[in-house]
Structure 1
Amino acid sequence: MSNFIVKKVAVLGAGVMGAQIAAHCINARVPVVLFDLPAKEGNKNGIVLRAIENLKKLSPAPLGNKDDADLIQAANYEDNLELLAGCDLIIEAIAERMDWKHDLYKKVAPHIGPNTIFASNTSGLSISTLSEGFEADLKSRFCGVHFFNPPRYMHLAELIPTAATRPEILDQLETFLTSTLGKGVVRARDTPNFIANRVGIFGMLATIHEAEKFGLTVDVVDDLTGAKLGRAKSGTFRTADVVGLDTMGHVIRTMQETLQDDPFFGVYQTPAVLDKLIEKGALGQKTGAGFYKKVGKDILRLDFATGEYVPSGEKAADIVGRILKEKDPVKKFKAMRESSNPQAQFLWAIFRDAFHYIAYHLETIADNARDVDFAMRWGFGWTTGPFESWQAAGWTTIANWVKEDIEAGKALTSAPLPAWVFEAPVLDNGVHTPEGSYSPSRKVFVPRSDLPVYQRQEFRAPVLGAFGPDPRTAGITVFEDDSVRLWHSGDEVLVISLKTKMHVIGEGVVRGIQRGLLEAEKNFKGLVIWNTDAAEGGAFSAGADLQSALPAFMMGGAKAMEPMVRELQDTFMKMKYSNVPVVAAVAGLALGGGCEMALHAGRRVAALESYIGLVEVGVGLVPAGGGLKEAALRAANEAKGNDILQFLKTGFTNAAMANVSKSALEAKAMGYLKDDDIIVFNSHELLHVAKVQARAMFDAGYRAPLQRLIPVTGRYGWATIRGQLVNMRDGGFISAYDYHLGDTIAEIVCGGDIDQGSLVTEQWLLDMERRAFISLLANPKTQERIMGMMQNGKPVRN
């Protein structure tokens, strides 16, 4: 195996996509140079510098840490083309005009290095046509790589070869995209709009068509086609507004210009309603009006009949809501098809249209059915791909229903389903089987890619019917109850997976960690805390389980909680001083007690999308699992004999303001992750990297850290922070109770009413945390905040 290391990337075009692709390369610590046209006035790199500055303001944030924007190197096509020779990968991301792209390619081709991969981020132009004019050598290193917007957050990257692209180029690029940039790669055929946009935009057009046919309003359609269907909660029309109606119009035009012989061509006409909106300049979210319009605090919707905006907020009918809640797909689809409710008929119609379309086009747009499902899941946020839905609802039944609708003239076109749908291997099993997923062009079930990069994913993204290992049951179980599972894969590392909702920490989890530590010290090289839904956007831990602690509190008041808090503290300290390394594999939310659990691990391996913070003040409490103790300890370590207070400010502010990192990179800047903690970009690799770390630490002769005394700032630091809090309270920036909470946090991180420079133990600070927590728990204002959070999920300001 030869390493393909991307030492530097060039991105051509500093528009919205180009700048954000550059930003994501910087997130992944890949040096990047961003090109655009020379500015006509002032600094020649002015266009690029403005784009880099704009990255700091965009929401959602393209950069994990906005200060990293300055790491992007600015360049222009007039003065800096020689920089291209030092780049291993060049990604072109200029406007979707074939002539403009060809002009740029002529300009840059002489400067491209002999081994550089050159890729276009076009969202739909023909890759083969784009490669025309290249000499054979460059043609063999050219392909399409289509990122989805916004590139930091959207998992999908479509890889599109031409007939001339060398296979090893694609393998190298797939490896880089998967592991370094954290993407889910799908290889697409070179057909208009590739896979995700082809199927997704068709789906949106079919939805608009069926909505008009059944007389449904914009808001009802969005309620029906959003979270209730396991799709992006923005539904159909709000998604169009977010994407931009002009962008959607452009993708539709590509289909109109290139797919004239498609039997679904009639559906590719730009809907009249969309045409009118684009004509008026109502392009969706970016112009403040599209299918929806915000007026003050009210969201209005477009009324198709009048073209006016009217109040929105209508929801799906109760009976249809009940159909969609049915867990059994077979029953759900039967109920949908047989219901006389127009909303249910509309839902069956959009599913039928999608099934008809993907079956008809599978052979030309993708190698196999799995690629279509992944493209829709990763590019459009569907929880289940269209082929998976079809197969789950009964392959043959659905196929016959679609056939009946086509023959009855109810479908969008009279084109029949392809013969393979009704032929033996598929008819018996559906398109996904343990052997692989069906490819009509090859007439075989195609197994998953066996590129070495996928060996880093112990649990790859699952496909219905493909029966990969289930992370909830895989490996050898050492112990399992309702709260945790302790297990291993025969690789010398014990894993603890939390099973509670949002992986909250109650008595069962605490006991599970204790059991795991004993087992790991006896029989394993390390313990990894990893949850089975880490790759699917689950939480690491949303904190302490307040709900389960409620009965004890109701019976014995705040004092009854003290033994629980003490046990939590003791357990986290046992983790910290364990004789084998404990590695926290963090992904998603790590809040309150979840943050403290990560802080006490010997090392943290965090997915880029990790949102870490001590948020207890939101429920009127202070951290009591050692979070404030760790803030004091880390400040003392960083100060190295200088004034500790300067280093303590970050930890204090984070806890007092309940600041949560917006990425793992920001968590490093906030001090929740240490410099030697590792950030992983593909969350499917999180478990692998955490296990490798645990084994390496053990093999390097791991010893638990020695307990040291901690120098604190005492009453001097406490008084200094209190002075700032008084100003905030008196200026009306915080409430009197916020002041009380802030003052309590200040007292703890400063070590209490003792002399500056006093040395205290970790237990001293833990005792302060615990006493403060119990005292606050007895306060009616804290109880108000807890009840408000449990009832409404929102912090109460009192």
Structure 2
Amino acid sequence: MKRHINKVAVIGSGIMGSGIACHFANIGVEVLLLDIVPRELTDKEKAQGLTLEDKAVRNRLVNDSFTSALKSKPSPIYHKKFADRITTGNMEDDISKVAEVDWIIEVVVERLDIKKQVLENLDKHRTLGTLITSNTSGIPIRFMSEGRSEDFQKHFCGTHFFNPARYLKLFEIIPGPKTSKDVLEFLNGYGEQFLGKTSVVAKDTPAFIGNRIGIFSIQSLFHAVKEMGMTVEEVDKLTGPVIGRPKSATFRTVDVVGLDTLVHVANGISENCKDDERHELFQLPDFIQTMMDNKWLGSKSGQGFYKKIKGDDGKSEILTLDLDTMDYRSKKSAKFATLELTKTIDKVIDRFPVLVDGKDKAGEFYRKSFGALFAYVTHRIPEITDELYKIDDAMKAGFGWEHGPFQIWDAVGLEKGLEFIKAEGLEAASWVTEMKDAGIDSFYTIKEGNTYFYDIPKNLPASKAGTMEKVPGQDAFIILDNIRKTKEVFKNSGVVIEDLGDGILNCEFQSKMNTIGGDVLAGLNKAVDLAEKDFAGLVIGNQAANFSVGANIGMIFMMAVEQEYDELNMAIKMFQDTMMRMRYSSIPTVSAPHGMTLGGGCELSLHADKVVAAAETYIGLVEFGVGVIPGGGGSKEMALRASDTFRKNDVELNVLQEYFLTIGMAKVSTSAYEAFDLGILQKGKDVVVVNKDRQIATAKAHAKLMADAGYTKPIKRKDVKVLGKQALGMFLVGTDSMEAGHYISEHDKKIADKLAYVMAGGDLSEATMVTEQYLLDLEREAFLSLCTERKTLERIQHMLKTGKPLRN
């Protein structure tokens, strides 16, 4: 039976329920969001003369929760209009409507008695064959389905979304005793393909996979921090981006999630996992108990491990909790010699051997924490899962780790990991020794572009070693790390060009933050040359955290300071020429942006034949922040797109103004869908993929489709309509009034006026058809003139030093 999910019902509209509802709306599914009916009126409702029978009152809880979710930052929804796909209601008046949906998701409070009561009610109203799942972070699924109908139990399981549902990729699927295999397979595939998740089928054990390992890791650090006499700042410095973890690291993450949430899960594991060999670690350290007693729960209570205060001067200051005195104090900087050694190592996975060899407290910390983690994960197989890759997938997708425990262990070496375990007085599970004795010294290996994992033998004699098996589900992905060595066609310090197969090349940026400098531009030109000569199409894509943060402004700054204007002019022209080379090549070019796609990264996408964007793409022309206008064809392109948008009887000035403001206000989309509103992505041409893991494969498929359909090299444009003095006058009046009203600075006005001159096509006396090159020349001249301004150089220098824009 082939299933289609056209409509879902989400029962419970709290933070989690509303977040799940919004994410289904994100992917185009109709949602019915229900919650309970209030039992009493608010003072405001009484004053309005409302009664408990009024619909506005009966739906108050669900509507208030949903409205609050839509206002939250970061937003749970890709585009505000997607909220129209969600209908709200209550569990009394609207419960019968669940008969019309394809999937019911229960997301009520984490209490078994309440969940069972709600599920019993839903069982009476659901249509036979409808999927029904419970979102829980740890309540056993087998208890929830007791007493339910046979059809219910067959179609029921746990589906654990992580909060926030839009951003965290882990989707744990936990079967009940009678869950159909077809249901599990469907949910596994749907989660990955449609919801954009990393789907992991887990066993029905306390806290499942993600929280079992994640909470152990945090609790282990809680105990180690006191034992090693470390500060909150030191632990967060060591457990953040340097090892591929989120900026919030450990203690800041706990503040955001809420200490009470973490303690609730830890207590659940402690109570239900008595046989866990590290059971004592799930007991709360004294300082955590004190914080719970004081209700220092983190952001929700205003203070946790960190506390934000306002000083006498009105400036905000972040204080840190001293774990010895339990008083708040000013933040201290945390520095370690070992971390300094990793500053030149861009790839996180390559840092681990250096970190664990450290001779200072940092090295000791890593050896100790990794030793405990490595030992723990070995003993969780087969308790929580039979396959080790699922543990790594869960930690990466649920906790934002760049690498899972077994991947980190591979990076430091099997033997060294065993040494760390032994030094902690611990033992790895016997299967690790059997693996080693069989001559297998890594948990993963790469063969023919695919990842293989060590599959631990099941129901076999202890002496029997496992085998390396292919990680399932890879066929829909292209993993650049796996193919780079064997499929490399060209490489320089800025890019690697890989053969994706089927006649399609990929140009992958390799610079710091994927900035675009001379080597990247040379690589892009080489990629086009190679594709035109021997291939059918070109994808520009990578799988780093961000597609590209833009041009190398450090290089621009040095040229401008040294007043090497001829060289700077040549560099800008090379950027522009490369963008035009992409547009007017004889092969289709497809850009695959994701994450931050700013400035030059955005300009590159503007010039591709097609954009296959990840849903989480934050794209925009942000050059105003460093005192210049887009100089790589972005200003030209927005004028061109405005021209293409002009329709008969339009007020053309208003259309052009929208594109002007997109640049002038440095607008950045908060999702790929918002980029359509900004005119950066184009409807009917560019596409969005929800699962970033599928992005390169999807981009390749589009490039091949365009090539197979008979791609023809475009003819250079000579028909860009510019409005001349009419538009320029309007823009200049606008910038004058903005400066007079103190909305922009004098330098902001200068930059805006330069942009106005370019997008108006200069001070032509009337509307005129011009070429793209005409506009590119205007753009380059404006960019260069702004680079001679002291205030522009101050802005660039401030951005290089702080990563933040300067308003001067």
Q: TM-score, normalised by structure 2?
A: 0.89
1:719 equivalent to 2:729? Answer: yes
Alignment of 1:273-292 (within 5 A): 273-292=287-306
**TM-superposed deviation, 1:103:** 0.7
1:512 equivalent to 2:531? Answer: no
Alignment of 1:631-646 (within 5 A): 631-641=638-648, 642-646=650-654
**TM-superposed deviation, 1:732:** 1.6
Alignment of 1:690-705 (within 5 A): 690-705=699-714
Distance change in 2, residues 1:447/1:649 (3 Å):
farther
Match of 1:587 in 2: 594
Q: In structure 2, what is the Cα distance between the partners aligned to 1:154 and 1:501?
A: 25
Q: In structure 2, what is the Cα distance between the partners aligned to 1:111 and 1:446?
A: 47
Q: In structure 1, what is the Cα distance between the partners aligned to 2:372 and 2:491?
A: 45
Match of 1:109 in 2: 123
**TM-superposed deviation, 1:101:** 0.7
Q: In structure 2, what is the Cα distance between the partners aligned to 1:318 and 1:247?
A: 35
Contact in 2 for aligned 1:553/1:560 (Cα 8 Å): no
Distance change in 2, residues 1:733/1:555 (3 Å):
closer
Amino acid at match of 1:447: E
**TM-superposed deviation, 1:401:** 4.8
Q: In structure 1, what is the Cα distance between the partners aligned to 2:341 and 2:438?
A: 30
1:485 equivalent to 2:496? Answer: yes
Match of 1:88 in 2: 102
Distance change in 2, residues 1:71/1:786 (3 Å):
same
Match of 1:216 in 2: 230
Amino acid at match of 2:656: L
**TM-superposed deviation, 1:425:** 5.0
Query: Cα deviation per residue 1:523-580 (whole Å; 9 max; x = unaligned)?
Result: 433221112xx2x42x322222333456665666324322332333233223223333
Q: Which of 750, 757, 768 is matched with 2:760 structurally? A: 750
Q: In structure 1, what is the Cα distance between the partners aligned to 2:318 and 2:786?
A: 40
Task: Structure 1: state its 5+ residue gaps.
Answer: 461-468
Could you say what secondary structure the match of 2:594 adopts? strand
Contact in 1 for aligned 2:372/2:424 (Cα 8 Å): no
Task: Structure 2: state its 5+ residue gaps.
Answer: 40-51, 311-315, 446-451, 461-465
Distance change in 2, residues 1:544/1:228 (3 Å):
closer
Segment drifting more, 717-726 vs 324-333: 324-333
Match of 1:197 in 2: 211
Amino acid at match of 1:16: I
Alignment of 1:523-672 (within 5 A): 523-531=534-542, 534=543, 536-537=544-545, 539-548=546-555, 557-641=564-648, 642-672=650-680
Q: In structure 2, what is the Cα distance between the partners aligned to 1:736 and 1:330?
A: 52
Match of 1:710 in 2: 720
Could you say what secondary structure the match of 1:365 adopts? coil
Contact in 2 for aligned 1:52/1:69 (Cα 8 Å): no
**TM-superposed deviation, 1:705:** 4.7
Query: Cα deviation per residue 1:744-789 (whole Å; 9 max; x = unaligned)?
Result: 1122222221245333332222221111112212222222222332
Q: In structure 2, what is the Cα distance between the partners aligned to 1:741 and 1:436?
A: 55
Match of 2:406 in 1: 387
Alignment of 1:173-192 (within 5 A): 173-192=187-206
Match of 2:374 in 1: 355
Could you say what secondary structure the match of 2:325 adopts? coil
**TM-superposed deviation, 1:342:** 5.8
1:447 equivalent to 2:469? Answer: yes
Q: RMSD in angstroms over aligned alpha carbons?
A: 2.6
Match of 1:6 in 2: 5
Q: In structure 1, what is the Cα distance between the partners aligned to 2:525 and 2:354?
A: 44
Query: Cα deviation per residue 1:21-57 (whole Å; 9 max; x = unaligned)?
Result: 1111222222222121134544133222222222332
Could you say what secondary structure the match of 1:429 adopts? coil
Segment drifting more, 99-108 vs 610-619: 610-619
Q: In structure 2, what is the Cα distance between the partners aligned to 1:141 and 1:317?
A: 53
Q: In structure 2, what is the Cα distance between the partners aligned to 1:555 and 1:392?
A: 43
Match of 1:463 in 2: none
**TM-superposed deviation, 1:233:** 2.7
Match of 2:132 in 1: 118
Q: In structure 2, what is the Cα distance between the partners aligned to 1:672 and 1:773?
A: 21
Alignment of 1:241-256 (within 5 A): 241-256=255-270
Contact in 2 for aligned 1:544/1:593 (Cα 8 Å): yes
Q: In structure 1, what is the Cα distance between the partners aligned to 2:556 and 2:667?
A: 25
Match of 2:477 in 1: 457
Match of 1:466 in 2: none
Query: Cα deviation per residue 1:225-250 (whole Å; 9 max; x = unaligned)?
Result: 33344323323222111110111121
Segment drifting more, 97-106 vs 113-122: 113-122
Q: Identity over aligned residues, as a percent? A: 36
Q: In structure 2, what is the Cα distance between the partners aligned to 1:767 and 1:651?
A: 19
1:472 equivalent to 2:484? Answer: yes
Distance change in 2, residues 1:345/1:620 (3 Å):
closer
Q: In structure 1, what is the Cα distance between the partners aligned to 2:410 and 2:362?
A: 23
Could you say what secondary structure the match of 2:484 adopts? coil
Match of 2:254 in 1: 240
Contact in 2 for aligned 1:320/1:344 (Cα 8 Å): no
Q: TM-score, normalised by structure 1?
A: 0.90
Distance change in 2, residues 1:652/1:442 (3 Å):
farther
Contact in 2 for aligned 1:352/1:402 (Cα 8 Å): yes
Query: Cα deviation per residue 1:300-341 (whole Å; 9 max; x = unaligned)?
Result: 2223333322222241444676599995755653x46xx5x6
**TM-superposed deviation, 1:67:** 3.6
Could you say what secondary structure the match of 1:99 adopts? helix
**TM-superposed deviation, 1:104:** 0.7
Contact in 2 for aligned 1:86/1:113 (Cα 8 Å): yes
**TM-superposed deviation, 1:351:** 2.5
Match of 2:687 in 1: 678
**TM-superposed deviation, 1:142:** 1.3
Amino acid at match of 2:565: A
